[in-house]
Chain A
Amino acid sequence: MNIFDRLMQIDRRWVFLFLVILCVIAYVADFQIPILIEPEVESIFTFIDTLPKGSVVFIPMDYDPGSMAELHPMTYAIVEQCWRKEIKVLITALSQNGPGMADQALRDIADSMLVPKTYNGVSYPAREVVNGVDYVFLGYKPYPALVILAMGQDFRLPFPLDYYGTPVDSLPMMRGLHNYNDLACAINISGTNATDYWISYGQGRFGFPLAIGVTGVSTAQYYPYLGSGQIFGIMGGMLGGAEYEELADNPGNAKDAMRVQLFAHLVIIAFVIMGNIGFFATVRKRKRQQREGR
Chain B
Amino acid sequence: MKQQIPRILVFIFGIFLIFQFFVPHESSEWVFEYLLDWNIIIGVFALAVGIWSLFKVHVEKIRTHKVGWQYSYITLGALLSMLIFGFTSRNGDEWGWFFVFWLSAVMVLLMIIQAMAAKGNTLMSVILAGAFAVIAVIIGAADNAWAFHFQTAEPLQATMFRRSFDFVLISIHATMFSLLAFFIASAAYRAFRARNVMATLLLLSALIVMSRFNPYLEPIFGEYLARTSNWLMNVPNLAAQRAIVMGVGLGIVATALKVILGIERGYMGKG
Q: Which residues on the B side are within 8 Å of A279 (C-beta)?
A: 193-195
Q: Shortest Cβ distance from A239 into chain B, in angstroms?
A: 6
Q: Which residue of B lies closest to A165 (CB)?
A: B153
Interface size class of B (residues with CB under 8 A): 35 or more
Contact A34 B215 (CB under 8 A): yes
The CA of A123 and the CA of B167, in the complex, are separated in Å by: 37
Q: Which residues on the A side are within 8 Å of B182 (C-beta)?
A: 15-16, 19-20
- Contact residues of A between 195 and 250, Cβ < 8 Å to B: 219-221, 223-224, 227, 239
Encoded as 1 (CB less than 8 Å from any B CB) or 0, chain A from 11 to 28 comes to 010011001100000000
- Contact residues of A between 56 and 101, Cβ < 8 Å to B: 64-69, 97, 100-101
Q: Which residue of A lies closest to B230 (CB)?
A: A38
Q: Which residues on the B side are within 8 Å of A115 (C-beta)?
A: none
Q: Is the interface of B mostly helix, strand, loop or mixed?
A: helix
Q: Which residues on the A side are within 8 Å of B264 (C-beta)?
A: none
Q: Which residues on the B side are within 8 Å of A101 (C-beta)?
A: 170
The CA of A50 and the CA of B145, in the complex, are separated in Å by: 53
The CA of A269 and the CA of B208, in the complex, are separated in Å by: 10
Residues of chain A at interface, number, CB under 8 A: 50
Q: Which residues on the B side are within 8 Å of A16 (C-beta)?
A: 182, 185-186
Known pairs A66-B174, A220-B241; A165 contacts B152 (CB<8 A): yes
Contact A64 B173 (CB under 8 A): yes
Instruction: Identify A10's interface contact among B189, B195, B214, B241, CB under 8 A.
Output: B189
The CA of A114 and the CA of B237, in the complex, are separated in Å by: 44
The CA of A274 and the CA of B223, in the complex, are separated in Å by: 26
Encoded as 1 (CB less than 8 Å from any B CB) or 0, chain A from 25 to 52 comes to 0000000011110100000000000000
Q: Which residues on the B side are within 8 Å of A174 (C-beta)?
A: none
The CA of A287 and the CA of B212, in the complex, are separated in Å by: 36
Contact B185 A267 (CB under 8 A): yes
The CA of A189 and the CA of B194, in the complex, are separated in Å by: 37
Contact A264 B181 (CB under 8 A): yes
Chain B interface: which of A105-113, A126-134, A142-150, A176-184? Answer: A142-150
- Contact residues of B between 153 and 206, Cβ < 8 Å to A: 153-154, 156, 162, 165-166, 169-170, 173-174, 176-178, 181-182, 184-186, 188-190, 192-195, 203
The CA of A143 and the CA of B178, in the complex, are separated in Å by: 26
The CA of A239 and the CA of B66, in the complex, are separated in Å by: 46
Contact A265 B210 (CB under 8 A): yes
The CA of A267 and the CA of B190, in the complex, are separated in Å by: 14
Instruction: Identify A36's interface contact among B193, B207, B226, CB under 8 A.
Output: B226
Contact A261 B242 (CB under 8 A): no
The CA of A107 and the CA of B33, in the complex, are separated in Å by: 35
Q: Shortest Cβ distance from A216 into chain B, in angstroms?
A: 10
Contact B241 A268 (CB under 8 A): no
Q: Which residues on the A side are within 8 Å of B241 (C-beta)?
A: 220-221, 223-224
Q: Which residues on the A side are within 8 Å of B195 (C-beta)?
A: 279
Q: Which residues on the A side are within 8 Å of B71 (C-beta)?
A: none
Q: Which residues on the B side are within 8 Å of A264 (C-beta)?
A: 181, 185
Contact A15 B186 (CB under 8 A): yes
- Contact residues of B between 200 and 244, Cβ < 8 Å to A: 203, 207, 210-215, 223, 226, 230, 233-234, 237-238, 241-242
Which residues of chain B have a CB within 8 Å of any CB of chain A? 33, 36, 39-40, 43, 152-154, 156, 162, 165-166, 169-170, 173-174, 176-178, 181-182, 184-186, 188-190, 192-195, 203, 207, 210-215, 223, 226, 230, 233-234, 237-238, 241-242, 245
Known: A66-B176, A165-B154. 14 other contacts (CB 8 A): A20-B182, A65-B173, A66-B174, A69-B174, A69-B178, A101-B170, A142-B43, A165-B153, A219-B233, A220-B237, A262-B214, A269-B211, A272-B189, A276-B192
